[in-house]
Amino acid sequence: MTKRLAMIVLCFCMGLALVSCAGVGVKPTESNFKAPVVKLDSIQPSFYEGFWYYGKAQPEMGKAPAGGGSSAMSLDFVFNITNPNDYPIRYDSSSFYLFFEDYELRVVNDSNPQWIPPGKTNTKVLSVTLTPFSTYVKFLLASKQLAMERGDKPWDKIQKWWTEIPEMSFPIDLKDGNFTFSADGVVKAVPITVRYP
């Protein structure tokens, strides 16, 4: 009876081993590496204290920045990434240009890899911190012509964005984005262009 039970257990374990190895044989290649699906789920303010700015001033402690002080705002870009392949893939890096109402604000980069199991969806959060003063400088460098064409005053526009960001009441664009993935030396890039909300 003991030998019979031992044989049943042995056969059962061998069957499990064969079943678990069945999906391992798929090797990533250029032809079978399906592009992962990248979707922007939400944009969430993770740090926000309203709008304020002061020019050059003497602080009580420390040294004031050359451009004065302004209220920082951090945004989290929450992406859902689905792996449609029969093997695990690695998210390697991503980047995109951030625009508020067609005004380019900055580039967002990430190079913190994570593995995505076959057929599963991972969440990837990319964070960026903006300040009114750095946004004003970007206006002068990259968006001056657009502001002149539209008749927008930079500080008025910046104050509007900072006061309305909790409601997301203006269009936010992620342009010329690129998410890069790899699997066993094979690399796949997924382009991203999204308007939110």
Tens digit of each residue's pLDDT (9 = 90 or more) over 140-187: 999 999 999 999 999 999 999 999 999 999 999 999 999 999 999 999
- Neighbouring CB atoms inside 10 A of 41's CB total 13
Q: How far apart are CA 39 and CA 108, in angstroms?
A: 16
Tens digit of each residue's pLDDT (9 = 90 or more) over 86-129: 999 999 999 999 999 999 999 999 999 999 999 999 999 999 99
CATH tag, 40-196: 2.60.40.10
Supply the DSSP symbol for 87.
Answer: S
- pLDDT score of 38: 98
**Greater confidence, 6 or 70?**
70
- Domain locations along the chain: 40-196
Sign, CA torsion 49/52/54/57: negative
- pLDDT score of 126: 97
CA 181, distance to chain mean position in Å, is: 14
Whether pTM > 0.85 for this model: the answer is no
Q: What is the mean pLDDT of the chain?
A: 90
Residue 23 has pLDDT above 70, yes or no: no
